Chain A
């Protein structure tokens, strides 16, 4: 079945880059996403990538996809204290199919 794995915790210093990694098992995954959840809040889509892309950059965010290894990463440049949150990797087969989420990586930014 589908499975998405992430490490649970990451701690970085303010101003450093953060890299959050994710692996997935379903080779038919077409869309891969990164969602952010701040304490007590809902899920906010940060970025997404199609499976036919290798990289996507959006301001401080860079997503890298290695389809062969089924590995997805999110790099946050110049990490700020406001970036402290849980980051969820997710995948879906199409735009109207439910998302399969990883367990989330809790990012702590140390000032």
Chain B
């Protein structure tokens, strides 16, 4: 079983559209994250979320919003997509342990 799974793996969409990326973890972890990896492979935290608290990286535009229907899911919703949003988005989870488990990534291309 995949520990952290993201769908879709690839997403191509036009500017101005609204899209969502789903993330599910079956590890029972309390904390989930979204990271963005740009074209130069630089990785930055976007959000971290657990039962109690959403922490937003202040550089993330408010067009991006995480939505957590339950503890095992943290979806990423993006409004009014822009060309600069093209990147690979990684979901991850952890719980009071050393290792953060990462999903395989979603490659978003905005055209």
Contact = CB atoms under 8 A, between A and B. Distances in A.
The judgment on whether A and B are partners is: yes
Interface of A: 31, 33, 37, 41-45, 48, 86, 88, 95-101, 103-104, 106
Nearest to A41: B104
A100 B45 CA distance: 7
Contacts of B104: 41-42
Contacts of B92: 43
Contacts, number: 52
A99 B98 contact: no
B75 interface: no
B96 to A, nearest CB: 5
A43 B102 contact: yes
Contacts of B43: 43, 88, 101, 104
Interface in B7-54: 30-31, 33, 35, 40-45, 48, 50
